[in-house]
Structure 1
Amino acid sequence: MSMLVYQETEPSLAEAESWSGPVVIEFGNAWCGFCQEAQPFISAAMAEHPEIKHLHIADGRGKPLGRAFKVKLWPTLICLLNGKEVARVVRPDDTDTVREALAKISTVN
């Protein structure tokens, strides 16, 4: 199994709000047990939606983007459509939960 990498650098909130189309921002950390356990569910659902951009952002104290989205637990998936939050999934424990959120932002029917 490959090691999941969360980016240390993050976009600004203004940048995220300016994106067009569907985007999932996944907040977490590679060392987080909850993040590791959720990866099979997240990966399976994301594989069904190649049109959705997926960012892995390392979150933690002093990280402004996670605070702007009021992230409290990891992993948290923020599903954006044209820069607006449409759905959120916190600590998914099955693929269907992630699929339901992705369906709300998918541009492919």
Structure 2
Amino acid sequence: MSEFIKEILENDFDRETSQGAVLVDFFADWCGPCRQLTPILEEVAKEVKEVNFFKINIDAAQEVAARLEITSIPTLVLFYKGKEVDRVVGLIEADDLKTFLAKAK
């Protein structure tokens, strides 16, 4: 991934989302819109230091995807201290993503 976004595995999901503000990008390698979203996430992750950014591949993390009822990708789920705050499905522009991340309080 990058220094700003870390890819996590299914068995790390609960631990990684339990502390502070976390944005998780649910994606798949075969998903075109997911690939389009990556540079937007990179740009925002460089600026927004108070949120941890993670990606999780739904093909490798089917249990987590099912538990969170991820039915379309890309899906961005915002967590604060392990609890889901909000989610957005589909592509999102950088400015809208920054506004969305402000909900993590």
Q: Given the two structures, how large is their TM-score scaled by the length of structure 1?
A: 0.75
Distance 1:62 1:52 in 2: 22
- Whichever structure has more strand as a proportion of its residues is 2
Ranges in structure 1 where 5+ consecutive residues have no aligned partner: none
Distance 1:54 1:86 in 2: 15
The superposition leaves residues 40-66 of structure 1 with CA deviations (integer Å, 9 ceiling, x where unpaired) of 322222222122111110103871111
Cα RMSD over matched residues? 2.7
What SS is found at the alignment partner of 2:30? coil
Q: Is the 8 A contact 1:79 1:86 kept in 2?
A: yes
Identity of aligned residues (%): 26
Distance 1:6 1:61 in 2: 11
Aligned AA (1:11): N
Counterpart residue number, 2:11:
11
Please give the residue correspondences for 1:70-81 in structure 2 after superposition, counting only pairs within 5 Å.
70-81=69-80
- Give how far 1:30 is off: 2.7
Q: Is the 8 A contact 2:10 2:61 kept in 1?
A: no
Higher CA-based Rg: 1
Q: Is the 8 A contact 1:41 1:92 kept in 2?
A: no
Aligned length: 102
Ranges in structure 2 where 5+ consecutive residues have no aligned partner: none
Q: Given the two structures, how large is their TM-score scaled by the length of structure 2?
A: 0.77
Distance 2:33 2:104 in 1: 24
